[in-house]
Structure 1
Amino acid sequence: MNVFIRRYLPVMILLLFVALSVGLFLNRSQPQQKVAEAIMPVLEVVAIKKQQYPFDINSYGMVQPKHQAEIVVQVSGIVDRVAPLFAVGQFVRKGDILAYLDDDDYHADLAQARATLAQAKALLEQEIARGIVAKKSLRNIATAKQSALGLRIPQRQQQQANVKFAQAALARAQRNVMRTIITAPFDGLITEKHINVGSHVNIGEQLGMIYGTDMARIRLPVTPQAFSFIDSNPLNTSVTLSSQPHAQAVQQWSARFIGTEEVIDPQTRMIYLLVDVTDPYQLTLPNQQRTEVLNFGTFVTAKIAAKPIANAVRLQRHMIRNEHVVLVGANGRTQMRKVEIARTDLEHAYISAGLDEGELVSITWPDNHLEGTTVKTVLNKPLLRSTDLKQQPALTVIHSKVADNGE
């Protein structure tokens, strides 16, 4: 018996443990199945509201005189005197005397021309008298037999021609005397001076340079795409110039839009607008009232009022990718929509077509976005309230290639 117990007891204990394990496994409690809740993306959206947006086209240019001329001499000679006005930086009026040339020889030529004319006139009077005498002496001869030479008609015509020649020579001598006095051709600013007392000048030699101060002209480059937004009527296009020299307060001037150069620059592919500023140096005002003088050579920026964009939508540029936006429909599903970009600036894009009033546009692009995804929406404040429209700054157009492509 003891042998049986010692031999089979371990086997019985093993079978007992196996039976208990099977019983526990069969009677274990089943775990509860939990249904996984689907995570729905949340998008921040804005409601579309169409408005009319005014904007400016930005450009830049250098202030130049509308009229400028070289001061040249029409006779040769020695510079006798130079007027104090003939100096760089001096303002002159039309007709102001700038310099004198030595005119002794020209006065001598003038006296000689007067004497020649007097001599020619005397010879003409003598020839007229001879013609009268010849006509009386031939009065008994038939008219058909009278010759022009006998009546001294050719001789009289020759003397008349000599008088006209002498008169022309006298007029030339008088002009040469006047040309020894160098005067300003128009109101202007002396910018160059190349002579001094004692200098010898020849006909056509440049004595200096003068800039007309009645009108300043600025060439403003714009892209052809930006130019399409400018009103063709110059009267409807206002231009404001501004400059901030030497960290001083910003100065502004109103300019008049004249037109364009009617060509596209072959190198820059720009269209140049022409604007004028009347009396840039304010010379028509007293000295104490000249506050905003526009000096020639000043670099200015220009704001050109363009035609407004009607029924447009303003979106932040990051909301648009490859000319598409993400919309959320009434059923809560997303969809891609292609839009037409009219203009862009540094922060915003202005959509002219592709969106309807009241539609919801996502402010951000969802990661791994699939069209038709169901999302939750959080409505942001409107892009622009109608009451705030007048307070919005004008849209500034940038002339970069990126902006023109609507990127």
Structure 2
Amino acid sequence: MNNNQIGSPMATDPGVVRNDGSFLRKVILALIFIGIIVLSLLVTMGVIKANTKPEEKKRSFNTLAVTADYAYQDDVQLNVSAQGEARARTEIDLVPEVGGKIVYVSPNFIDGGIFRKGETLIRIDDSDYKVAVIRAESNVAQAEQSLAQEIAEGEIARRDFEELGEGEPTALALRKPQRQRAEAAVQAAKAELQSANLQLQRTYVKAPFTGRVKSKASDIGQFVSPGSRLGRIFSTDIFEVRLGLTDNALGKVNLPIAFVAEDYATAPEVQLTATVGGQFQTWAGRIMRTDSSYDTQTRTLTAIVEVLDPYGEGLSDKGMPLAPGLFVQAQLTGKTYENVVVIPRDGLRPDNEVFVVDEFGVAAIKKVEVIDTSPARAVLLSGISAGELIVLSPMEKSRISMPLKAIDINNPSELLVDPTMEEWAKAKGIDMGRKPDGKGKSEDGSSAE
């Protein structure tokens, strides 16, 4: 074997040597490319890291969304609402003063009938009463005849005594006692005649006032005795509505206890309303007096409202009379307050407290003095000022320290207050600087988190 056979083929074959050099170059180029990429990534990460501050611990900032509205100043007239039942001021049982058989009944004497004052509603058989009048007239005539006879006899006795000339005659001699007895008999007979005529007149049962029949309890042919019930009638001249008022309501309308109006024109006005026949009706009335004592059951004092001529000039605005038994709502006009603060009713909390929120979302509780409340508003005498933002949403006191975001109650798409954490913390006096524990502390040590 020669030397060429003993040597390595790679060492002796030029083609092989060229192939190995190309492969190495490719490997080296690949490593360089990879190195460049890795180096680029490292440089990029270094730059990013160099430009990035250490991430601070995020602070939680949860705002409580509430609806709110502004307090405003206004002149307010207080009104008091009450309810009562309309009734006639005068309502009586119609009764006869004499007994007998009913021989006439007025066509108007029926349930719901309308009658005028002095109208004959029922007439009782007067035959016996006419006889009594005739008998009484006869007795008067007899008594007068007896008196005339006594007068004549007394005159004769006086003349006889004068002719005898025996001094002054005595009263007995002149028959004065007999004459006085005869005069008394005449007076008694005339009184009996007057009584008989009165009984005869009473057979006509007449209406004592203009009004209506509430109920009818008798009819023609029926025998009635004095005092028996013929029916029930009421007057239509004045109607009353009795309103139970609390002490608070009495104060609002400035109505004293034992009040009596001097006249109708100057009495406190009242508006009465009710729905009749599917239409809303309104009547005008006035408080004429109050009861003399409180109701022991309700502890209220009754104010009595009068409506004049409810079937005539006192008709409602739509021409409806105020009928007895109708349940009505009453609005009493009360005192007027100038430049008082008014807020929505939902803003008034128990114990007369109000939650207010400022422009930085900081809430506070304020005590207020209340003048009046209604379903829509509360009228305040003191405690807050006009322009303050009032929280209307239900909210517990325990959440008053939370930052609030106020939504306009009249326009829910509009935010009245939407604070940042920095604004709220600054308004609260909380230091936002970081502490070793990563939490900001206020001056009193409370956490800003």
TM range (shorter): 0.7 to 0.9
Cα pair distance change 1:353/1:129, threshold 3 Å: same
Where relative contact order (Cα < 8 A, 6+ residues apart) is larger, the structure is: 1
Q: Distance in 2 between matches of 1:185 and 1:354?
A: 60
- Does the CA contact (< 8 Å) of 2:79 and 2:252 recur in 1? no
Q: Distance in 2 between matches of 1:231 and 1:221?
A: 15
Alpha-carbon deviation of 1:223? 2.0
Q: Gaps (5+ residues) in structure 2?
A: 1-48, 256-260, 411-449
Which residue in the other structure is 1:279 paired with?
309
Which residue in the other structure is 1:122 paired with?
145
Which residue in the other structure is 2:445 paired with?
none
Which residue in the other structure is 2:353 paired with?
324
Alpha-carbon deviation of 1:162? 0.6
Cα pair distance change 1:297/1:329, threshold 3 Å: closer
Q: Distance in 2 between matches of 1:365 and 1:344?
A: 18
Cα pair distance change 1:123/1:311, threshold 3 Å: same
Q: Distance in 1 between matches of 2:142 and 2:267?
A: 67
Which residue in the other structure is 1:296 paired with?
324
Give the secondary structure class of the aligned counterpart of 1:266.
coil
Which residue in the other structure is 2:270 paired with?
239
Give the secondary structure class of the aligned counterpart of 1:228.
helix
Q: Distance in 2 between matches of 1:151 and 1:55?
A: 85
Alpha-carbon deviation of 1:299? 1.8
Alpha-carbon deviation of 1:367? 6.2
Give the secondary structure class of the aligned counterpart of 2:279.
coil
Higher-Rg structure is 2
Tell me how many residue pairs correspond in the alignment: 349
| TM-score (norm: length of structure 2) | 0.69
Q: Distance in 2 between matches of 1:290 and 1:112?
A: 59
Alignment equivalent of 1:108, drawn from 131, 151, 155: 131
- Does the CA contact (< 8 Å) of 1:326 and 1:365 recur in 2? no
Tell me if 1:200 matches 2:223. yes
Amino acid at match of 1:303: Q
| TM-score (norm: length of structure 1) | 0.76
Give the secondary structure class of the aligned counterpart of 2:117.
coil
Amino acid at match of 1:337: K
Alignment equivalent of 1:337, drawn from 340, 350, 366: 366
Could you tell which deviates more after superposition, 113-122 or 341-350? 341-350
- Does the CA contact (< 8 Å) of 2:281 and 2:318 recur in 1? no
Cα pair distance change 1:316/1:298, threshold 3 Å: same
Cα pair distance change 1:161/1:355, threshold 3 Å: same
Alignment equivalent of 2:166, drawn from 131, 137, 141: 141
RMSD over equivalenced CA pairs, Å: 3.3
Alpha-carbon deviation of 1:172? 0.2
Tell me if 1:34 matches 2:64. no
Amino acid at match of 1:132: E
Alpha-carbon deviation of 1:360? 4.5
Alignment equivalent of 2:121, drawn from 80, 98, 120: 98
- Does the CA contact (< 8 Å) of 2:267 and 2:286 recur in 1? no
Cα pair distance change 1:149/1:209, threshold 3 Å: same
CA deviations over 1:307-359 (Å, ceiling 9, x no partner): 23433322234433332223457998544321112222224322222223444
Cα pair distance change 1:107/1:45, threshold 3 Å: closer
Give the secondary structure class of the aligned counterpart of 1:176.
helix
Give the secondary structure class of the aligned counterpart of 1:118.
helix
Which residue in the other structure is 1:161 paired with?
184
Q: Gaps (5+ residues) in structure 1?
A: 1-28, 383-407
Which residue in the other structure is 1:266 paired with?
296
Could you tell which deviates more after superposition, 81-90 or 149-158? 81-90
Q: Distance in 2 between matches of 1:222 and 1:283?
A: 28
Tell me if 1:59 matches 2:82. yes
